[in-house]
Amino acid sequence: MAVVSPFRGWRYSQQAAPNLSQVIAPPYDVISPAQQDDLHRMSPHNVVQLEFGKPRPTDNDGDNVYTRAAALLRTWREQGVLAREDKPAFYLIEESFEAEGQRLRRLALFAAVTLEPFERGVILPHEETTSGPKADRMRLMEAVHANISPVMVLYEDPGDIRQALDHQMKTVKPATGTFSTGGVRYKLWAITDTAVHAHLRVAFDRQQLFIADGHHRYETALAFSRGAGKNDQGAKQIMMSLIDMKDPGLHVQSFHRVLRDLSPAQMAALRTKWEAAFDVRSSTRWQDASQAARSLTDALEVQGESICAVGVLEDGGRKATLLRLKPDAQMPTPPIPEFRECEPWVLHRAVIDPALGEAAPSHLSFPHGLDEVASLLEKGEAQMAFLVRAIPLGLFRRLVSKGQRLPPKATFFYPKLPTGIVLRTLDE
């Protein structure tokens, strides 16, 4: 099903970037303005200058963030800041990080993957996209003719893919030393063995791929490919980072729902809707929002995966209420029954959307950290928060494989993949 290929990637040369930690960056869509400034100052060669350049007051059609990125990429190639792999390679990335008190390790395989329309069922999305980010990514792709950052994709390994990758890690010298950013440590192997290439091609030919992160980049590349010529094969593929759904280090976190600037009528409407759909299992007051949030999270975690439960924080975050979906909940009929187990879907369809209507987006934010939720409530910058659990991977797979898309901010695959470890130009 999925067609994966090795490619001659561009990597930072040792001379230009002896410390890769100084030149890689988070994905563009999670970089704050302050972080963008820090990355630009970190190194004259930081990849953020290609992926997420800074606008200038004098920008025009001939000189803007996109044209400057294209010119800079050409310069870095010509000057040897970026060096191209001698042979086609798959790139194996080992990520080591800490999450919820555990040290985890995740493997990601970078490959060039043939673009497929979603309706073919080979590559499946789980989120809707919006026009603004796609227009931005299209202008960048048209200018640079390259994949600067990978799309994160999941697959289901029957076992032979991981065996092949583990063997490579044991027998092939890493292409880099250990480098890090954001508390995550990385190591890279370039797999150039053609026998291993053939094995991986066959193994992935049986795979369905699930987009975990990078929907806008994927849809942009798909649209770009439709204008490519018949012989322009490079534009008909995209750089992906392939991760096994059963990888012990695949860590899914949740986005919570924080509401602000609500009128008394809107607060009452939210309460009416959740009382119609959910049973109150417990309600407790705590001394501070952090205690309340953590106690509520603990209560949610002991609920069974098939039980739809959410938490509510009110009164400056000090009141914690645990809700469980009623068997006869008053809510829209889901497209497929599995959505009754999908807490973000239930919360939006049964409570938030009917209570707030079209105004909902202006009242919502989506932090994924409990500390941020508690801080917003304690400072009075938010009036209410709904805590939700991370979607189980089994439920994620069942929903997405049936062609369903989840609500916005339904999943947070941690850690985000960095940009700049490997780049792929379209002149394959």
pLDDT at position 227: 83
Categorize the per-residue pLDDT at 220 as very low, low, confident or very high, splitting at 50, 70 and 90.
very high
* pLDDT at residue 224 greater than cutoff 70: yes
Tokens of 266: 């809107």
**Interatomic CA distance for residues 153 and 240, integer angstroms:** 7
Categorize the per-residue pLDDT at 428 as very low, low, confident or very high, splitting at 50, 70 and 90.
low
* pLDDT at residue 225 greater than cutoff 80: yes
Number of helices (H), then strands (E), belonging to the chain: the values are 14, 21
pLDDT at position 195: 97
* pLDDT at residue 232 greater than cutoff 90: no
**What is the average pLDDT across 95-122?**
95
- The amino acid present at 225, given as its one-letter code, is S
Average pLDDT, the chain: 94
Q: What is the pTM of this model?
A: 0.93
Categorize the per-residue pLDDT at 247 as very low, low, confident or very high, splitting at 50, 70 and 90.
very high
pLDDT tens, 160-181?
A: 999 999 999 999 999 999 999 8
14: Cβ contacts below 8 Å, ≥ 6 apart? none
**What is the average pLDDT across 199-205?**
96
pLDDT tens, 330-386?
A: 888 999 999 999 999 999 999 999 999 999 999 999 998 899 999 999 999 999 999
**What is the average pLDDT across 243-253?**
95
Tokens of 152: 């994160």
Tokens of 170: 């044991």
pLDDT at position 101: 86
pLDDT at position 230: 65
At residue 398, what are phi and psi to the nearest 5 degrees? Answer: -65, -40
Angle CA(181)–CA(186)–CA(189) in degrees, nearest 5? 145
CB 424 within 8 A of CB 221: no
* pLDDT at residue 265 greater than cutoff 90: yes
- DSSP H helices, 233-348, are 264-277, 289-301, 343-347
* pLDDT at residue 229 greater than cutoff 80: no
**What is the average pLDDT across 273-294?**
95
pLDDT at position 299: 95
